């Protein structure tokens, strides 16, 4: 028995060492490749679109808009404040967008020095100086890409409906641009005018409303559909919703779009929320903003990583979600999406821009034996939307999650249920237990032998019954 145990430990250690070495080699190559792709895309962007498009490889620089409005950022924080004569607007920008150390930079003295300079200059530095007319002007330095993207919005320009050359321009992906009103795509089902309560369904990262409408919606009982109005949305930048090229896809933007597209036009008063993965962060933000209206919170695989004292929240979550390892494969894919702006853009160029071809091939190979709603949800987004949502929501919300969970525990009297698959390799089961440590009344349901997707897909009938019980309990 002792020999077998020692052999098992040796094999585990060997596998770990092999994974570390392979990861070092692979990600060193990817670091170099991303630099090369940066130059290639800048040249192509200039040739095709007649301008140099900003990216997060850009250096920091000082900028104040010519409109007289001022940008400010606090020392050591990843927040940008937009000041005008009458409004203070807070944008949450994750510094993981432009501060990501690489294996190449770690072993290069020159690069290390440059990163230190960027960290000093790129960190927002507020200084106030009196101007001639007696007013106060704030100056700062911050990553130039953020400045360039925000300047157009601050100047009052409209968002750009025209897709970039590397984005898909099919009818499905651009249908929103023909509308005079930019609102999210909403799929409504169930009760209409006589609905006693509403249920808002929020999908996860690179998914769509079809994650719900093709699975649990058809499996709700007739009595449920006669009582509840079911509202599933495509988040900003995904599915059939708007995909503005100049958006930073911040938490505030996502929440405001949900308000503008669902809560206001549908006159939602009391509602339940069902959210998956990234959608759980938006669900908590909505619950905190509308504490008296939320009847129940059902969270599936919430991405909550308690940040240790002394750690930088966004950077800590980035390392947790994307550990820069070649194995398991889902960690490798997450690392590509999180760490490499230009490689991930190339993936979107190959997959998302040509999604009609991939969907057609899938249908031919499977002979239509399976539905393709998961693929369609995965394909229908832009790189700009995915990149910014990933960093500004999953990483950037790290400093807010504790406050949201505390607020739900202390001030919001609603039923909280958390589902998590025991085989989820993307977000570990510890995330849900961490939620319960903040909200002791939360009911944790571990679904055995299910992963991040099959927690719903494949068990939609059972999940529909579980949701009905939750809603019944919260209304009782």
Catalytic residue of the set 45, 58, 95, 203: 203
CA–CA separation, 198 vs 273, rounded Å? 9
| Cα angle 149-378-314, degrees, rounded to a multiple of 5 | 50
For this structure, is 189 an active site residue? no
Q: What letter would DSSP give residue 196? A: S
Give the per-residue SS3 of 326-361: CCCHHHHHHHHHHHCHHHHHHHHHHHCCCHHHHHHH
- Looking at the DSSP bridge assignments, the partners of residue 128 are 138
Residue 386 CB contacts under 8 Å (≥ 6 apart), including other chains: 205, 206, 237, 337, 344, 348
Task: Out of 424, 432, 451, 474, pick the active-site residue.
Answer: 424
Write the CA distances from 115 to 118, 141, 199, integer angstroms. Answer: 5, 15, 46
Q: Which residues of 69-79 are buried (b: 16+ CB within 10 A; e: fewer)?
A: bbbbbeeeebb
Instruction: Answer whether 338's CB lies under 8 Å from 314's CB.
Output: no
Would you state the structure tokens that stand for residue 202, as one six-digit string?
A: 């929020």
Instruction: Assess whether 452 carries a catalytic annotation.
Output: yes
Sign of the dihedral through C-alpha 209, 210, 216, 221: positive
Annotated catalytic residue: which of 166, 261, 452, 474? 452
| CA-derived radius of gyration, the chain | 23
Give the C-alpha separation, 334 to 341, whole Å: 12
* Catalytic position from the list 208, 277, 296, 344: 277
Query: Catalytic annotation on 424?
Result: yes
Residues carrying an active site annotation: 203, 277, 424, 452
């Amino acid at each position: 028995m002792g020999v077998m145990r020692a052999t098992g430990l040796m094999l585990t250690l060997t596998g770990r060492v092999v994974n570390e070495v392979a990861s070092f080699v692979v990600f060193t190559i990817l670091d170099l490749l991303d630099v090369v792709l940066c130059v290639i895309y800048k040249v192509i962007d200039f040739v095709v679109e007649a301008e140099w498009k900003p990216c997060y490889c850009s250096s920091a620089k000082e900028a104040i808009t010519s409109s007289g409005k001022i940008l400010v950022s606090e020392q050591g924080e990843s927040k940008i404040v937009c000041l005008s004569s009458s409004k203070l607007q807070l944008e949450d920008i994750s510094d993981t967008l432009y501060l990501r150390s690489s294996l190449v930079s770690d072993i290069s003295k020159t690069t290390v020095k440059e990163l230190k300079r960027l960290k000093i200059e790129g960190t927002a530095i507020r200084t106030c100086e009196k101007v001639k007319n007696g007013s106060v002007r704030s100056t700062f330095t911050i990553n130039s890409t953020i400045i360039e993207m925000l300047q157009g919005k601050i100047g009052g320009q409209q968002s750009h409906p025209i897709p970039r050359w590397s984005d898909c321009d099919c009818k499905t992906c651009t249908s929103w641009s023909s509308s005079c009103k930019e609102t999210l795509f909403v799929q409504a089902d169930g009760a209409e005018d006589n609905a006693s309560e509403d249920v808002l369904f929020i999908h996860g990262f690179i998914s769509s409303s079809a994650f719900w409408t093709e699975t649990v919606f058809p499996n709700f009982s007739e009595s449920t559909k006669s009582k509840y109005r079911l509202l599933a949305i495509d988040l900003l930048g995904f599915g059939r919703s708007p995909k503005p090229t100049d958006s930073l896809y911040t938490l505030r933007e996502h929440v405001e779009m949900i308000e503008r597209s669902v809560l206001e036009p549908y006159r939602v008063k009391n509602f339940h929320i069902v959210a998956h993965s990234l959608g759980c962060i938006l669900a908590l933000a909505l619950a905190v903003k509308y504490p008296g209206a939320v009847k129940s919170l059902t969270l599936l695989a919430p991405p909550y990583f308690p940040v240790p004292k002394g750690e930088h929240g966004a950077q800590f979550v980035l390392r947790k979600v994307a550990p820069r390892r070649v194995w398991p494969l889902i960690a490798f894919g997450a690392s590509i999406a999180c760490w490499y702006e230009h490689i991930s853009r190339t993936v979107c160029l190959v997959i998302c821009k040509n999604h009609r071809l991939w969907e057609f091939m899938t249908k031919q190979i499977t002979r239509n034996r399976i539905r393709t709603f998961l693929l369609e949800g995965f394909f229908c987004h832009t790189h700009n939307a995915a990149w910014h949502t990933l960093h500004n929501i999953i990483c950037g919300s790290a400093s807010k999650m504790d406050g949201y969970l505390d607020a739900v525990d202390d001030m919001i009297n609603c039923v909280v249920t958390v589902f998590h698959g025991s085989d989820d390799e993307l977000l570990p089961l510890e995330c849900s237990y961490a939620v319960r440590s903040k909200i002791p009344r939360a009911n944790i349901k571990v679904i055995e032998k299910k992963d991040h997707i099959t927690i719903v897909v494949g068990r939609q009938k059972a999940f529909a019954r579980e949701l009905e019980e939750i809603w019944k309990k919260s209304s009782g």
